[in-house]
């Protein structure tokens, strides 16, 4: 039980550290980091990319992940890292790392039509224009 309480206290401390730096990180990221990252990628890479931000609790570090379907041209990753890291050099309390991944994101929502009976819409019969019909209501 004591170990569980100790683990919980450590987690609380790490969450406090993250909360204390979140506002500063978000301000710098939105105003400088993200625009520099996008500009550098758009100027040096002609393709799709996605950007995610992870938080590594054990290292108290934010990890900016850039995913592209293909390997970036030579040197582009270093330009991106350099330009993004410049934004955070005066914020020593923030630990930020930029990583690159090759892959694609596949969205699964609404990718196929359902043929199940429950998914078909039943439209109301004879609704008047003065009556607001709601989902699954019918005026007969």
Residue 7, domain member (yes or no)? yes
Residue 116, domain member (yes or no)? no
The mean of the pLDDT values for the chain is: 83
In whole angstroms, give the CA distance from residue 11 to residue 50: 29
* Confidence at residue 106, expressed as pLDDT on a 0 to 100 scale: 80
Residue 129, domain member (yes or no)? no
Say which range, 24-28, 72-76, 91-95, 96-100, has the weakest mean pLDDT. Answer: 91-95
Given a cut of 70, whether residue 140 has pLDDT beyond it is no
Residue 48, domain member (yes or no)? yes
Residue 65, domain member (yes or no)? yes
**Total of domains in the chain:** 1
Given a cut of 70, whether residue 129 has pLDDT beyond it is no
Residue 136, domain member (yes or no)? no
- What is the extent of the structural domain holding 47? 2-105
Given a cut of 60, whether residue 1 has pLDDT beyond it is no
Instruction: Find the distance separating the first CA and the last CA of the chain, reported in whole Å.
Output: 63
Instruction: Give 21-77 pLDDT, tens digit per residue.
Output: 888 899 999 999 999 999 999 999 999 999 999 988 777 789 999 999 999 999 999
Mean pLDDT of 87-94: 86
Relative orientation angle of helices 76-87 and 34-44, to the nearest 10 degrees: 160
Say which range, 46-50, 86-90, 106-110, has the weakest mean pLDDT. Answer: 106-110
Residue 77, domain member (yes or no)? yes
Residue 140, domain member (yes or no)? no
């Amino acid at each position: 039980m004591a170990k569980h309480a100790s683990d919980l206290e450590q987690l609380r401390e790490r969450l406090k550290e993250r909360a204390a730096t979140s506002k500063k990180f978000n301000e710098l990221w939105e105003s400088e980091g993200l625009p520099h990252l996008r500009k550098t990628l758009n100027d040096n890479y002609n393709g799709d990319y996605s950007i995610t931000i992870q938080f590594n609790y054990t290292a108290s570090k934010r990890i900016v992940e850039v995913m592209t379907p293909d390997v970036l041209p030579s040197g582009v990753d270093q330009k991106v890292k350099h330009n993004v890291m410049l934004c955070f050099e005066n914020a020593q309390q923030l630990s930020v790392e930029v990583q690159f991944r090759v892959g694609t994101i596949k969205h699964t929502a609404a990718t196929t039509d359902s043929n199940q009976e429950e998914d078909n819409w039943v439209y109301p019969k004879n609704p008047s224009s003065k009556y607001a019909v709601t989902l699954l209501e019918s005026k007969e």
